Structure formats: structure tokens, C-alpha cells
């Protein structure tokens, strides 16, 4: 069966499905590595309906679903300008979130989302793309390295009271 891939820009009307996919993919990715109460608190704080609506309405944030055969398989969130989670030097685009649902992992869709990110960065004439990735997520780190991302820094990420370290990885375009 041929796989049809489609990118769909999300807006406020998509908030419920975005919330569901966000909670599902974050839990699948990090749930077993974190205290359940910290995880629950984080999900409420970061993926609450009102918070997602604010993010969707921000003109310098962009959400895209990736669909496989018309089913939502994952999503990404990109930020430019003041929407970036950290101030960065130069003309940069932040890849804040990139998630593929478990059933679609290993099908090349993560690669397609990253290619979409780089395409948008080039269209917007960005000099660099950057992201934060948990230092213990070795699979993701190798994935980004294959695309030319290198570690350029680190920052703290809090899951409840648990301080974790995210690598800052950048790719110069």
C-alpha cells in the first residue's frame, strides 16, 4: 500500500486533536522516565487547552500535523522571533516540538518533519535552526546529528522538581 504524506498547518480549530496528540506522544516518549505526578503536572501546564490556544494564535509560532494516509501521525511546532523559548543570536528558527505517534515510528515520518522544518527555515531565510533535546534521548540526538545538528550549549528543563539537562543543538543553513 502506498503511503500518502500530507502536512497540514494547525490553527485554533485543531486544538482538541493537537492536545490529544501532544499528550499521547509526550507520554509515550518520556512517561517511563519520569515521576508520574511530575509528568501529569507538566502535561496540564504545557498542553492545557488555553495554553495551546495561546500558542496557536501567536503569529511567530507554527504548528503542523503530518498525516499518513489521512491519519494524523505526528506534529511539529516551530518558533521564530520572540516566540522562541530562549533568545538566540542572529536570524534563527526554533524547532520546539517534533513528535511521531508510536504506531508511525520507524516509517520515515520524523525525517519528513525535520525536512519540512529545514524547508520552512530556508523559505524564511533563516541562518540557523536550533532545538533542545534531553541529553538522555540518545536516539533523538543521533537523528539530529545525521541532519548536521551539533551541540552548541545546554539548558535546564524541569519536570516538576526534577531538573534535567537539554542539549542545545544547532544547524547552520
Hey, which residues are catalytic here?
144
Beta strands, E only, the chain: 5-9, 61-68, 71-80, 92-100, 128-134, 150-159, 162-172
Task: Quote the cell numbers at residue 109.
Answer: 515520518
23, with CB counted inside 10 A (0-12, 13-18, 19+), is middle
Q: Report d(CA 160, CA 155) in Å as an integer.
A: 16
| CA-to-CA dists, residue 54 to 65, 119, 136, 138, 164, angstroms | 18, 25, 30, 31, 26
Beta strands, E only, 11-60: none
Q: Which of 30, 94, 34 is nearest to 60 (CA)?
A: 94
146, with CB counted inside 10 A (0-12, 13-18, 19+), is exposed
Amino acid at each position: 500500500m502506498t503511503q500518502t504524506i500530507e502536512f497540514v498547518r494547525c490553527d485554533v480549530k485543531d486544538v482538541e486533536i493537537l492536545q490529544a496528540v501532544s499528550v499521547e506522544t509526550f507520554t509515550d516518549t518520556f512517561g517511563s522516565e519520569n515521576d508520574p505526578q511530575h509528568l501529569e503536572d507538566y502535561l496540564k501546564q504545557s498542553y492545557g487547552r488555553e495554553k495551546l490556544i495561546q500558542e496557536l494564535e501567536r503569529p511567530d509560532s507554527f504548528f503542523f500535523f503530518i498525516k499518513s494516509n489521512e491519519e494524523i501521525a505526528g506534529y511539529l511546532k516551530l518558533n521564530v522571533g520572540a516566540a522562541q523559548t530562549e533568545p538566540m543570536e542572529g536570524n534563527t528558527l526554533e524547532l520546539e516540538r517534533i513528535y511521531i505517534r508510536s504506531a508511525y515510528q520507524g516509517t520515515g515520518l520524523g525525517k519528513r518533519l525535520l525536512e519540512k522544518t529545514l524547508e520552512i527555515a530556508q523559505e524564511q531565510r533563516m541562518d540557523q535552526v536550533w532545538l533542545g533535546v534531553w541529553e538522555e534521548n540518545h536516539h533523538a540526538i543521533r537523528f539530529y546529528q545525521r541532519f548536521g545538528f551539533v551541540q552548541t550549549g545546554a539548558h535546564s528543563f524541569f519536570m516538576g522538581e526534577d531538573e534535567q539537562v537539554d542539549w542545545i543543538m544547532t544547524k547552520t543553513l
